[in-house]
Amino acid sequence: MEETKINMPLLGDDFPELKVQTTHGPMNIPGDLKGQWFVLFSHPADFTPVCTTEFVAFQKRYDEFEKLGCKLIGMSIDQVFSHIKWIQWIKSELDIEIKFPIVAANDSVAMKLGMLHPGKGTNTVRAVFIVDPESKVRLIMYYPQEVGRNMDEVVRAVKALQISDEQGAVPAGWPENELIGDRIIIPPATNEAAANKRCEEYDCFDWWFCHKPLKK
């Protein structure tokens, strides 16, 4: 029996090329999204309670993602007609219009992303991939079927990645860190002379832990 190999990407890897069918038509991912951020998230199955709450929560934050220049893409193993019927149900019963595309993945696509839930057939785990404009994987989160995701954390993660690219590292719980609030952490000095000057140049707890105001 041929062994199925899972080649899931790691942080910093190129997001794997996927030719997929979606509720918005065929897509090449990440090719069609080159030059912009995107969040691809998988769900176990259409017409399930936890997944429905997640889709509503993502859609409620759709405008926030758009302001960040970040596209949303959903995905599961369900076929396109199931996705279409489900989002029609969400619209008619919950009065929420799902504006982002949903990928109808096959096992091959799911394997490329490590999305198949071990021991649970073809159900896909609750995975989140945040990908930057260079098509590099910047953040990966996996949740079990039984636990719905926190979409505010996904929004925060995109914001934090964009801020860190431009200004420096962000602390725990940013922008509401218990020690420095929304300030940005400065990389530690790499030589003794720089270390001796750090506390004169920045606000510091010590030379290896200095911070600066966030540029709005």
CA–CA separation, 197 and 56 (whole Å)? 51
To the nearest 10°, the Cα dihedral for 108, 110, 111, 113?
Answer: 130
Whether the CA torsion 83, 88, 89, 91 is positive or negative: it is: positive
Domain-located, residue 9: no
Do 140 and 37 lie in one domain? The reply is: yes
Same domain, residue pair 74 and 130 = yes
Domain presence at residue 6: no
Active site annotation includes 199: no
Q: What is the pLDDT of residue 115?
A: 72
Given the residues 51, 199, 204, 210, the one annotated as active site = 51
pLDDT, residue 5, reads: 53
* Residue 158 domain flag: no
Q: Which helix (H) or strand (E) holds 186?
A: strand 184-186
In a domain, 160, yes or no: no
pLDDT averages per 10-residue partition of the chain, 216 residues: 60 94 96 96 93 97 98 93 97 98 86 68 79 97 90 97 96 97 93 92 95 94
Range of the domain at 119: 18-149
Type and span of the H or E element at 128:
strand 126-131
Q: Which of 95, 165, 93, 103 is nearest to 129 (CA)?
A: 103
Both 26 and 117 in one domain: the answer is yes
Q: How far apart are CA 25 and CA 101, in angstroms?
A: 8
Largest CA distance in the chain: 66
66 shares its domain with 113: yes
CATH number for the domain that contains residue 205: 3.30.1020.10
State residue 77's pLDDT score. Answer: 85
DSSP string, 197-209: HHHHHSEEEETTE
Number of structural domains (the chain) is: 2
What does the alpha-carbon distance between residue 131 and residue 135 come to, in Å, rounded to a whole number?
6
3-state DSSP: the chain helix, strand, coil percent, rounded to 5?
30, 25, 40
This prediction has a pTM of 0.91
